[in-house]
């Protein structure tokens, strides 16, 4: 299995809602990432988990809360979002968290989030 | 401060032609340079990557050229096809930084039939 699976593919939520994005990989990768991508822009890093521990938080607002329940799963909990948070949210994984083991990412297809 | 600068922003090439996209980086600690291809509505997909101990890497119609002294690298797509029409992102990372990549701004490639 060489895929990163993200659910749901599309999500519309109100500013008072609580929702979660899910990501799953079965490649044995030990680093997992959340990225946010606006139209016609490159992906922007939000969070990095290395060996199931949060290693990087790119000063993301607390209305975004990541969780890594195990080495295959990554969640992003959403609460009280703003319309400007509407974007494509991408999950990615890579083989290792450091050293020569680091390679390119395998991205999921993303969740298209619309905040109304 | 943008650490990876990508050009051009958009590129139109005739079918069968060569597409060339360029990137320049600033941080000499970067030691892994991938290129990603993204189609509309999809996540980026790793296309090809290079490390600074080689000057060129070829995979099929895709070639990365790397110039360490100039801190530049480029993607060449030979015999470009309409199916290559996509957005291409270069990136750079340091192995010791939990795989955190810095992306260029992207190039939208259109290959005309």
Across the interface, of A99, A100, A109, the residue whose CB is closest to B43 is A109
| Closest alpha carbon to B83 in B12, B2, B15 | B15
Instruction: Return d(Cα A78, Cα A90) in angstroms, integer.
Output: 14
Residue-wise pLDDT tens digits, A82-96: 999 999 999 999 887
Mean pLDDT score, A103-109: 87
For A83, list phi and psi in degrees, rounded to 5: -55, -30
> Model confidence over A28-79: pLDDT tens digits?
888 899 999 999 899 999 999 988 999 889 999 999 999 999 999 999 999 9
Q: How big is the CA angle at A7 (ends A49 and B98), to the nearest 5 degrees?
A: 15
CA atoms of A51 and A90, how far apart (whole Å): 19
In 10 A of CB B74, how many CB atoms?
A: 17
The number of C-beta contacts closer than 8 angstroms across A and B is 74
Contact map slice: A 3-42 vs B, CB within 8 A: 4, 31, 33, 40-42
Dihedral (CA of A59, A64, A67, A68) sign: negative
Nearest CA in chain B to A33: B100
Q: Cβ of A104 and B36 within 8 Å? A: yes
């Amino acid at each position: 299995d060489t895929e990163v699976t993200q659910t749901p593919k599309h999500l519309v939520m109100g500013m008072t809602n609580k929702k979660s994005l899910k990501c799953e990989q079965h490649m044995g990768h030990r680093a997992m990432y959340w990225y946010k991508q606006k139209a016609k822009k490159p992906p922007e890093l939000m969070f990095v988990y290395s060996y199931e521990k949060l290693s990087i938080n790119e000063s993301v607002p607390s209305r975004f809360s990541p969780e890594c329940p195990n080495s295959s799963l990554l969640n992003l909990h959403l609460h009280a979002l703003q319309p400007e948070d509407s974007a494509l949210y991408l999950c990615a994984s890579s083989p290792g968290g450091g050293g020569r083991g680091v390679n390119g990412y395998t991205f999921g297809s993303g969740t298209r989030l619309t905040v109304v | 401060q943008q650490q990876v600068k990508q050009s051009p922003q958009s590129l139109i090439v005739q079918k069968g032609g060569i597409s060339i996209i360029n990137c320049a980086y600033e941080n000499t600690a970067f030691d892994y340079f991938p290129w990603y291809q993204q189609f509309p509505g999809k996540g980026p997909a790793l296309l090809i990557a290079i490390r600074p101990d080689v000057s060129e890497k070829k995979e099929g119609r895709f070639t990365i050229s790397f110039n360490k002294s100039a801190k530049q690298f480029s993607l060449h797509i030979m015999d470009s096809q309409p199916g290559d029409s996509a957005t291409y992102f270069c990136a750079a990372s340091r192995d010791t930084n939990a795989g955190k990549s810095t992306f260029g701004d992207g190039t939208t490639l259109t290959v005309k039939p």
